[in-house]
Structure 1
Amino acid sequence: MPTKGTGRQQPKQLRVVVIGGGTGLSVLLRGLKNEPVHITAIVTVADDGGSSGRLREEMDMPPPGDIRNVLTALADTEPLMEKVMQYRFSNGTGLAGHNLGNLLLAAMNEITGDFVTAVKALSGVLAVRGDVLPASTQSIQLKAEMEDSTIVTGESQIPLAGKKIKRVFLEPHDAAPLGEALQAIEDADAILIGPGSLYTSILPNLLVRGIFAAITRSQAHKMYICNVMTQPGETDEYTASKHVRVIHEHVGDAFLDTIIVNSAEIPAYVLEKYAEKGAAPVPCDLPQLRKLGLHVVAKPLVTFEDGYLRHDAREVSKQVVSLIKRRRKAQSG
């Protein structure tokens, strides 16, 4: 029997779509899965390096690496299962270099005959909180036109070229988006872009035909979570506003509403460690960001773990949920 009450309808669960790939996205999702939201992660399938690249080539399947990382981040499993998913073989003819989670996805793909079904099946095994979807199920190759007009082919090769990137594009240019991804974008209360490699993790998703069109149609709050550090070979000397301008230029529309950017001072010993690899903090250039019409959330949002700077996933997630609730309240009030 229905419970008697005030008759007031409970607010629907907030729906958040997160678009990207790589380590940055996985870190964010570990925090977001503890918030009262339904998560759909739309993940890039342009990876061509390492274990993912080998499976893509040999098994004629989308590269599983970024999908594996996201599944593991959203999983509600024992720590040992996470170690199993992330285990990389160091020995064995044909096995060395392969990641066990990638092989599990490859096996599921063979068993089910469909990559999306494979991801869903493994999601069930891992008790994943939310939905994980590839941006497309087609084989996509990422290419970059450099400032000197040369073309570099392959996501893994672009940062190694040692040249400034003019633009990136997909081949085929008309790769079809996954229908479920488009529906998730349409239903979202918020769409989070990043964090992650600008040219090789974020833009490949936005360039899939239909994905960005769905984002522009969506009434969701559109946020960009800016990287903490520059990435050698991709975003050398980029400010926060430069990241935004590159995204807007690639899709042809200034669609972002909000940027979340770190404002914390980074210790000198950490800066030295990153400088050795050619990386530096991404400056939060507030005047330029405001000129772009963005609402700016600039707060200390980093932690230092295992020798690396990471977004403070818990704090970023709380900022995201607060922004969504504030916007919903303003719309209903």
Structure 2
Amino acid sequence: MERNRISYRMPKEHGPRVVVIGGGHGLSTMLRGLKHYTENLSAVVTVADDGGGSGMLRQDLGMPPPGDIRNCMEALANTEPLMSELLHYRFTEGTLAGQSFGNLFLAAMNGISPSFDVAVSRMSEVLALTGRVLPVTTADVQLQAEFENGATVVGESKIFYCKKREDCRIRQVRLLPEHPKALPDAVSAIREADMVVLGPGSLYTSVIPNLLVDGIVDAIRDCNGLKVYVCNVMTQEGETEGYTVSDHIRAIFEHSSQGLFHLCLTNSSPIPKGVAARYAEEGAELLRCDKEACEALGVEIVNRPVATVKNGYVRHHPGHLARELILLHAERSVRIAGEGRAFRDDIYRME
């Protein structure tokens, strides 16, 4: 069966149970695409952010940072254009300058709810989300980074500047306090998933923090579904300069469990030379895929055209990325159908 001849045609309400784990704009970008293929979608999102408007609300109100959660809810929302514009609105003057209305909406909902996860659930109902958004934990956590020279820094927003100053790689990140308990709904969603997707997003500040929460790694290991890591397209200044794909995979395994996943989706779309040159000026470059080193780690590389250039920046294309993930799930389901996994012939058709 040739891969490029498989077409997905399952109704969204019967789509695969997909759980995505991460944070930042990469996660919300992917969700915008996936919601067109399945309604059985759950986003498990980091709550370690302490910068920007989220950090201000966290400090002032003692609540978990709303930013990454809000981005994911906006991506999955089914609202009128005016409501979407309102959620995106950022104040430009006064003490609220730079603050997002969406963040304030979630903060207000948190104020009238018994817990942050209930607040997220209630706001999700208001926005008529396709799928669910789940904070990975409701604990008040900070992210600490330790560098190869022994220096340490506490605070997700401070890691970039500290790495630039120390000019060496990050050795390890940890949560403070360590081993917070995962949200039970997040654990159950992962265990029951047909596909678990890690990333895309900042390696040490969006993806790995979720894996440091008690219960998440065990749930991924217990899951019988497909497990995929979506690797970034470019290296990230202040975090992963000089990294290869295998460096990303190795860092995840060292912070979680060897063999946590066996598939890594990378980008095959070309990046214009002018765009690459601008990134190079900022200390970033196209992420090099060292396939043999990845295979030595037990990870198969799946190279697909999933990136695009928008306003001069390299980004994952929400539609292309979602389609490749769904087709990847379809192909692997076909492959292992004879080993006892549920498979229905009416899900797929040959073009």
What band does the TM-score fall into relative to the shorter chain?
over 0.9
> For residues 153-302 of structure 1, what are the structure 2 equivalents within 5 Å?
153-161=154-162, 162=164, 163=166, 164-302=169-307
Cα contact 2:179–2:212 (8 A) shared by 1:
no
Instruction: Report the TM-score, using the length of structure 2 for normalisation.
Output: 0.89
Residue 142 in structure 1 maps to residue 143 in structure 2: yes
Partner of residue 324 from structure 1, selected from 320, 329, 333: 329
Equivalents in 2 of 1:330, 1:290: separation in Å? 20
Cα contact 1:105–1:122 (8 A) shared by 2:
yes
Quote the residue 2:110 is aligned against: 109
Equivalents in 1 of 2:282, 2:140: separation in Å? 32
Give the superposition deviation at 1:177. 0.6
Cα contact 1:230–1:280 (8 A) shared by 2:
yes
Residue 304 in structure 1 maps to residue 309 in structure 2: yes
Equivalents in 2 of 1:232, 1:82: separation in Å? 31
Give the superposition deviation at 1:12. 5.5
Quote the residue 2:126 is aligned against: 125
Quote the residue 2:47 is aligned against: 45
Cα contact 1:87–1:100 (8 A) shared by 2:
yes
Q: What secondary structure sits across from 2:40 in the alignment? A: strand
Equivalents in 2 of 1:222, 1:139: separation in Å? 28
Quote the residue 2:81 is aligned against: 79
Q: Structure 2 vs 1, CA of residues 80 and 274 (structure 1 numbering), >3 Å: closer, same or farther?
A: farther
Quote the residue 1:22 is aligned against: 24
5+ unaligned residues in a row in structure 1: which ranges?
Answer: 1-9
5+ unaligned residues in a row in structure 2: which ranges?
Answer: 1-10, 339-351
Please provide the CA RMSD for this pair.
1.5
> For residues 50-69 of structure 1, what are the structure 2 equivalents within 5 Å?
50-69=52-71
What is the identity, as a one-letter code, of the residue corresponding to 2:291?
L
Partner of residue 93 from structure 2, selected from 86, 91, 94: 91
Equivalents in 1 of 2:85, 2:273: separation in Å? 32
Query: Percent of counterpart pairs with the same letter?
Result: 48
Q: What secondary structure sits across from 2:112 in the alignment? A: helix
Equivalents in 1 of 2:15, 2:287: separation in Å? 34
Cα contact 2:14–2:38 (8 A) shared by 1:
no
Deviations 1:273-330 (A, max 9, x none): 2223221110122222222222221122211112211112212211211222222233
What is the identity, as a one-letter code, of the residue corresponding to 1:238?
Y
Q: What secondary structure sits across from 2:96 in the alignment? A: coil
Cα contact 2:217–2:257 (8 A) shared by 1:
no
Q: What secondary structure sits across from 1:310 in the alignment? A: strand
Q: Structure 2 vs 1, CA of residues 129 and 12 (structure 1 numbering), >3 Å: closer, same or farther?
A: closer
Cα contact 1:262–1:284 (8 A) shared by 2:
no
Q: What secondary structure sits across from 2:303 in the alignment? A: strand
What is the identity, as a one-letter code, of the residue corresponding to 1:248?
F
Equivalents in 2 of 1:25, 1:289: separation in Å? 23
Equivalents in 1 of 2:212, 2:285: separation in Å? 27
What is the identity, as a one-letter code, of the residue corresponding to 2:306?
L
Q: Stretches of 4+ moved more than 6 A in 1?
A: none
Quote the residue 1:6 is aligned against: none
Cα contact 1:257–1:295 (8 A) shared by 2:
yes
Q: What secondary structure sits across from 2:17 in the alignment? A: strand
* Number of residue pairs the alignment of both structures matches: 323
Give the superposition deviation at 1:37. 4.8
Q: What secondary structure sits across from 1:144 in the alignment? A: strand
Quote the residue 1:3 is aligned against: none
Cα contact 1:39–1:130 (8 A) shared by 2:
yes
What is the identity, as a one-letter code, of the residue corresponding to 1:324?
H
Cα contact 2:14–2:39 (8 A) shared by 1:
no
Equivalents in 1 of 2:38, 2:305: separation in Å? 23
Q: What secondary structure sits across from 1:271 in the alignment? A: helix
What is the identity, as a one-letter code, of the residue corresponding to 1:210?
G
Equivalents in 2 of 1:37, 1:68: separation in Å? 19
Cα contact 2:304–2:324 (8 A) shared by 1:
no
Deviations 1:136-168 (A, max 9, x none): 001110000111111111001101111321100
Equivalents in 2 of 1:13, 1:313: separation in Å? 17
